[in-house]
Structure formats: structure tokens, C-alpha cells
Structure 1
Amino acid sequence: MAGVRRRRLAGVCAIVCLTAACFLFPSSYGDRVDDQAVRCAGRVVAVDDSQVQQVGLIRKGSQLLMLQIEDGPFEGRQVQAVNQLLGRMDIDKVFRPGDRALLVLSLNPKGEIVFVAAQDHWRIGWEIGLLGLFCLLLLVFAGWTGAKAIGSFLFSAVFIWRVMIPAFLEGWDPVPVALAGTSLLTGVIVFMVAGFTWRGLTAFLGAMLGVITSCVLAMVFVPLFHTNGAVLPFSETMLYAGYAHLSLPRLFVAAIFVAASGALMDLAMDVAAAMEEVARARPDYTFSRLLSSGLKVGRAVVGTMTTTLLLAYSGGYMTLLMTFMAQGVPVVNLMNHVYVASEILKTLVGSFGLVTVAPFTAVAGAFIYGRVWSVTAFGQPPLGAREIAGPETASSLPLD
């Protein structure tokens, strides 16, 4: 029991160290903050809408805000700010008394406030609260496994932000960078959750074969669909901001299989866990029998997983479909529109990867468990591993 606790604690410490290393990873794209500016939270005390004009749903003009600073060196001071409305609902923010706002205070050389910008609504508190509830639920429900899942979640977020995104901006080819990054993320997540076990190895192999399949399909079909990657949000803005060297089609290919990789890991772990139970219950099963069992489990899971990405992606372009339907656009025009075609491509390529993960994992599991159990009798661990494993089964042993 003490050994199990040490391994669990070592796993959590390892993911913490990896996350810290990614966070401290040197990058030329750090926060570009003016030395003469202070960011803080403020409370809206009063709002003057006399300069705001509303035509239908569109608001233009400016709001005059009276705000009270809630933290930082100017805490407690009341300041005024102008909130300019451009008539664009996607970027305009409308403040009301009682709202909290992110304030940017511009200072003069003497350290006095010369300008106040109400940057946006303050959402950090709710974001941290929601993340805390998510972590609490994982810990209560899954215990140590939940703690490792939290570590994997945070590591993935930091790795993408601090390593992959800067690599893309530097002009590195997005496809190999994303494939290498996805391989690392898959390995860390799978082995953190399952441990260095045969189950973890089975899930990793199945998931990576599915990711590679999705990558190859995306590389083949993106040119055939004549999508240039400009459908990605803010992609043109990025090109005009000094990054014209970036390849949007290659970014789009990378985005396709990175977006699908989480679901691929999920399915691979399901099949691997089921095959572990089969091998533990029936140590006499041969490669073919294990493969047949794994394929049966895969078919059952794939039956519901095939719509996973469709439902996940459809939420992102639901209003697009509503717009076309409201305007009576013919289906043939709809299906050929670049935005719709791009979403169809992402959905089908990701779903194709999901379907192939099941047989890939079944084959890997049949080979791995067939090899492990074929040299044992009645489910006893192999010689040399028995002292390490103790009462644990061979399928849950750390890898030799």
C-alpha cells in the first residue's frame, strides 16, 4: 500500500514539475505590458448613457463610466472612463452599475493616472470559481485518479499556450509541431491516468494510431476541399498583424487532428480498460480471442461515439446554419460554402479517426495482453515481476 501511495504521489509531483517547466519555457511572446500602465479590477458606480444611440439591436456612441478601483496601488480611488461602442455586438461591451471591469490605468512619469480604459468585464473570479468546482468534483469522485486528471488538464493547457502556440508563431511547420505536441500530451495524459501499465501502453498506441490517421486524412482532404484555413477565427487578423509567413492551410490541418485527439484518447482508454478486464478474467485467451473481444467492445462504444464530434462541433456553427436556413439558401449552396465545408471536413475526419481507434486499440491490446498472459498460468504475473507486483495482476504491472 505504501508503494502504491508513493507511486501516486510521484505521478502528481511529476505532472506538477512538467507544468512548471512548460510555464517557465522561454518564449519571445510573453505579455507585452507597458511599464507605465497598471491593470486592476474596478466596480462600476454610475453610468451615463446620454451619448449612446440605439438603432434596433445596434448601439453606437460612448458610455461615461464612474468606477471605483478595487485593488492595486490606487485601491479605493474613483476614476472616470469612456467606453466606446462601435455597433458590433461581438466586441462591444455594455456596462451597468454594479458590474466589475478590467481597468487599464495609464500613468505619467510621476506615477499619476492620466487615462483609464475599461478593457472588458471582469470574469476572472467566475472562471476560477468554475475551475475550482470542476477540480473539486474530480477529487470527490475519482480521488487520486482525479488529482492526476487535474494535473493532466492543467499541463495540457499550459503546454499548448506556452510551447505549441509560440512554435506556430515562429513559423515552424504546424503539422509536425502539432503531431509531436499531441504525442507528448497523449503520453502524459494516458500514463498519468492509467500509470505505466499495459493498459496505459495499449491506450497510448491506439490513440496515437488514430491521431496519425486523422492527420493523414486531413492532409489529403484539405487541398481537395479547397479550404485555405482562413475560416479559423482571427486568422486574417493574425496575417495582417505581421505574421504573413504563416501557412493557414497547414494550421487548419493541425487544428483538425488536435481537436479530435481528446475524443480519440477517451475511446482508446475505454477499449484498453475493457480488454484488461477480459485478459484478467480469461488468462487463457489467445491473440485471436482477445482481438475478437476488443473489437466487440469497440463496436459497442463506436455506436455512440460516432456522433460525439458532430454534436461538439455543431454547437460552434449553429448560428451559421440558422442564418442560411432563414435566408432560404439551397442545400447544394450550403454544402459548398467554405465555412460549412470546413466544419464538415473537421467532423468527418475526426469521426474517421474515432472509428479507427477502436480496431487499432483492439489489435494493440490483443498483442500486448496475449504476450503478457501467454507466458503465465491462471493469471499469475511473470517471473521477476511477481516480487514487484505483489497481489496486483500482470495487466496492471508497471512496464518492464
Structure 2
Amino acid sequence: MTTPQITEERLRNYLDGNQPARERLCIAILNMDRRFSDVRPRHPKGGPDGGRDIEAKYRDTELTYGAAGFVNGANDSEAQIKQIKAKFKADLQAALREEVKPTAFVFFTNVALTAGEKAALVKAATKAGVTECDIFDRERLRVALDGTDGLGARVQYLDIPMSSAEQASFFARWGDDIQSLVASRFQSVESTLSRLLFLQEARATLKTISVRFILDRTYTGKEIGHFRAFVSFFFPKMRHGLTEALFGSTDKSRRFSAHPYRGRPEPSGIAHGVSDMRWESRLKIKGDPEDDDAEADYVKYVPHGSGSGIGAKEVKQIVVSYHHTDTFDFQFLPRLSLEDIQGAWVMPNLNATLAEKLDAIEIWADGYVLMSLERSDFSLDRSPTEFPVPGHFSDQELADPWVRIRPSGFSSNLTIDFTRQTPKRAYVTKEMGGPIKR
């Protein structure tokens, strides 16, 4: 038996007594017809529906009602044809009795009707008041289900497998859409899990914030020469009294030491050495031993660690970092968590020569990428400004002026925002292996 014969035979009797499946099959077929949209069932599990098994829109605007008139063991006898004609007229009249009358009416049946019989029913429908009437009898249902668009519904409702040729045709037509749908579902689940994991891990003590200034190419240390790259983090929440953290890196390894110029003068430029420095501004908190010696209620730019390193012969990026001195071992005082920096304002400050070489900026915290900016995402504010902590740079160095990095949009500062997007986790946790076998 050929596939069309199998499809026709299944339409005759395979769904006998299964009204929900019959209606769902009709909905699937109507969805294939581009004239109709917003196709949906009314009572697919049975019950009074007022001649409206299906509701849809014809040409996107006109109300359409549809009805399924299937018989058990369709054999196209005169009695069955008479039964279907009566069913068509009853469903049409019931639909037209509704307060909101349909513009179009669609009827589905597994009985074969002649062209004349269908024309007579359509004429009766238009005379009754509908503008558009369409009838899907058994042959028309078969043609739809044996076509490429109907193969999925044919498998689902009539349990007719696809041949190799039909599979090739089906996946050529729908393969990309199916793959995209599956991928989008997986992405949605993965996105939700990533969000939950971040919210959980964001409660842990914040260890390190790093800002990567990525240059537009690799430069020699001599090309970079003197550089200044500092970042201010302003904390609106003021957790544990902390209002601002200022941190960054510059050339000369002894610049921030207690005796920076003792001994032989240190040459300028990133090729000869680098140093980093961190400051904090805090409100005085009663009972905090760290604030016992503070006379004012607000302490601005208190040093909180420095470091130094060897020079760089080649430079593709400059990374500056912030962490508190007791973060890595024992924590004697309350510290920020990652979630505490929600809403923080970020203001990078660089010397103009370095800023002009920027290609991208990334902000990291404890293995998460909080912000990633391309060159088009930020602008250089060249309006005059001074470094918040004076006295560390010579007039000659400051002849290459400070430049502030601002968003390209209307905002004044870069802002850490966990509500609009979930930070990306930059590493995958590995599962520990099983016990050692002895």
C-alpha cells in the first residue's frame, strides 16, 4: 500500500472516537494555511462549543470559526454524506448565533465530498452571512498531511512514519527551525541556571575586582613609556562604611614607597618597572577598630596596599586590581560581597596617550565578567581634571593630561548592573574524582 493510500485509510478510521485528537489534527492543518493565524482550540477535550471547535484570524484580522465533522469508519455512504451536511449546517448556524459573528467559517471532515457537494455547502454559508467559507474533506486533508509541511502532524496524529525521501524533504524544510527551537530552549534553561548560580556565589566575600584595559595592538614598552591607569569605584550602598575604592597602576616600581627616590633615580616608563596602589574612602563606624584613630566622620583616600613589579617589553593590556589586605587569609573585619557592588559607579582615569590606544575594557570580579565594553561603547572625556590623591606625579608627567572614560550614551559613569544582565562565569568548576583505590 502506498503512503497516500495509508494516509487516506488512517483518516477514515484511525481516530474513531478520539474527538480531541481529531480537533488537534484540524488545528495543525489550519496552521499550515498561511491565510489563517492565531489558530487555537476552544474545547479540544469535548463539551459544548457552540459550533466552534476552532477559533482563528482570517487575513490576520477577520474572525474565523472552525468545526470538525468526523465520522467513525468513514465509507462515504449516502447516510454519512447526509450526516456531514447536517453537521455543517448545524455548526454554521450555531456559530452565527453568537453575539460576535464570524467573517469566515472552515469545516473539516473525513468524509469525501464531490466538488458539487462542497460548492453547495459554501453557497449556503455565504447566503447565511459569512464572507469566506472553506471545506477540508478527506482528500484535501490527505494532500495537506502528505505534503512537506504536514509530515510532522501525520506522524503525530496518524502514526504514519516518514520515508527516507520524506525525512530528507522535511528536515530540508524545517531542520534549521527545529534546531533553533531546541537551542533556544536549552539556552533558556542554561540562562536560568547561570543566574541562580551567580546569585548564590555573589553572597561570598569579594576577593578581587580587576579592570582590563585592552589596547588596539601590541606595543613595545618604549612606545607606551610613562602611563597612568586608575579606576574609581563609588559604592552607593556604602556597605560597612565603604564609599569609594580607588586603585590602579603606573610606571616606576618605587613611586608609592615610603622613600621613592632614595638611591639611584628610577627611570620612567613601563619598560623599567611598574607599581600599583589602592586607597579607600569610608564613613567612620562606631566600634570598628579600623576607625578608632579617625578624628573625622569621613575618611578619604586612606592607603590600603601597594605593590611593585618588573617592567614589560611588550604591552597588549594593562590590568589594575583592588582587594583588601586581609581578604586572602583571615578576615578580621566585615568585607564586601560581590552582590554589594550592585549599582556601583565606575570611573576609569588614564593618561591621554594611553587612553587613545584603548580598544576594549573588561571588568572582572572573582571569576565573573561584570562588564565588557568595545571601543564604540565608551568615550574619552578630555575636560580638565586632577588625580584625587595629589603629589605622586611630576609636572612633566602631567603634561600628558588625565582622561576620564565615560559611556558612549547619556550616562556619566559606567554602572555595574546585575538586574539587567547576569555576569558571565569565566571558568567551569571541575568535579572531584572518585576515591583512590588501594
| Shared fold, TM over 0.5 | no
| Higher Rg of the two aligned structures | 2
Q: Counting strand residues as a fraction of each chain, which structure ranks higher?
A: 2
Q: Relative to total residues, which structure has the larger helix share, 1 or 2? A: 1
- Please give the TM-score of this superposition, normalised by the length of structure 1: 0.23
- Pick 1 or 2: higher relative contact order, CA cutoff 8 A, min separation 6: 1
